Structure 1
Amino acid sequence: MSPVVTVERRRRHTLYFLEWAAAQRPVHLDTDIDMTRVQAHRATAREDGRRYSVVSYLLYAAGRVLDRHPEANAAMAPGWPGPLRRPRTVRFDGVTAKLALDRPVEGERTVLSALVPGLESATLSEIQERVDRYRGEQAAELLEFKGVRLLSRLPVPLGRAAFAAALRDPRRRAGVFGTVSVSSLGHRSVDGFHSAGGTAVTLCAGRVVDRAVVRDGVVVPAPVMRLGLTFDHRVIDGAAAADVLSDLHDTMEAFDDSTAGTRAPGPGPDARGADRDLRPVGGLEQSTR
Structure 2
Amino acid sequence: MTAEPMARQRRHTLFFLNEIRDMSPVFLDTDVDMAAVLAHRAAQPRRFSVITYVLYTAARVLAAHPDANAAVRGRIRPRIARSAGVHAKVALDKRLGGRRVVLAAVLPDLHDATLDGIQDRVEHYRDGDPERMTEFAGVRALHRLPAVLGAFAFRRTVRPLRGRAERLGTFAVTSLGHRSVDSFHSVGGTTVTLGLGRIADRPVAVDGRVEVAPLMRLSLAFDHRVIDGAEAADVLTEIKDGLEEWKP
Short-chain TM bin: over 0.9
CA–CA separation in structure 1 for the residues paired with 2:217 and 2:230: 20
Q: Is the 8 A contact 1:104 1:137 kept in 2?
A: no
CA separation of 1:143/1:8 partners in 2, compared to 1, >3 Å: closer, same or farther?
A: same
1:52 matches 2:48: yes
Q: Which runs of 4+ in 1 moved over 6 A?
A: none
2:70 maps to which residue?
Answer: 74
2:82 maps to which residue?
Answer: 91
CA separation of 1:217/1:140 partners in 2, compared to 1, >3 Å: closer, same or farther?
A: farther
CA–CA separation in structure 1 for the residues paired with 2:80 and 2:194: 20
Q: Is the 8 A contact 1:102 1:109 kept in 2?
A: yes
TM-score scaled by length of structure 1: 0.83
TM-score scaled by length of structure 2: 0.97
Superposed CA offset, 1:201-250 (max 9, x none): 00000000001123333321111000000000111111111111111111
Q: Is the 8 A contact 1:67 1:95 kept in 2?
A: yes
1:109 maps to which residue?
Answer: 100
Q: Is the 8 A contact 2:205 2:211 kept in 1?
A: yes
CA–CA separation in structure 1 for the residues paired with 2:133 and 2:114: 23
Q: Give SS of 1:131's match.
A: helix
1:63 matches 2:59: yes
1:6 maps to which residue?
Answer: 5
Q: Is the 8 A contact 2:192 2:222 kept in 1?
A: yes
One-letter amino acid matched to 1:30:
D
CA–CA separation in structure 2 for the residues paired with 1:215 and 1:43: 24
Q: Is the 8 A contact 1:30 1:227 kept in 2?
A: yes
Displacement of 1:169: 2.7
CA separation of 1:216/1:207 partners in 2, compared to 1, >3 Å: closer, same or farther?
A: same
Displacement of 1:136: 2.9
CA–CA separation in structure 2 for the residues paired with 1:139 and 1:215: 46
Q: Is the 8 A contact 1:62 1:119 kept in 2?
A: no
CA separation of 1:58/1:144 partners in 2, compared to 1, >3 Å: closer, same or farther?
A: same
1:219 maps to which residue?
Answer: 210
1:229 maps to which residue?
Answer: 220
Superposed CA offset, 1:113-162 (max 9, x none): 01111111101100000000012362442111111111111111111111
Displacement of 1:7: 0.6
CA–CA separation in structure 2 for the residues paired with 1:136 and 1:215: 40
CA–CA separation in structure 2 for the residues paired with 1:123 and 1:140: 29
Q: Give SS of 1:70's match.
A: coil
Q: Give SS of 2:43's match.
A: helix
CA–CA separation in structure 1 for the residues paired with 2:131 and 2:242: 32
CA–CA separation in structure 2 for the residues paired with 1:103 and 1:43: 28
Equivalent residue pairs, number: 248
CA–CA separation in structure 1 for the residues paired with 2:42 and 2:130: 27
Q: Is the 8 A contact 1:76 1:88 kept in 2?
A: yes
CA–CA separation in structure 1 for the residues paired with 2:4 and 2:159: 32
CA–CA separation in structure 1 for the residues paired with 2:115 and 2:34: 16
- 1:183-194 aligned at under 5 Å gives the runs 183-194=174-185
Q: Is the 8 A contact 1:103 1:137 kept in 2?
A: no
CA–CA separation in structure 1 for the residues paired with 2:57 and 2:116: 13
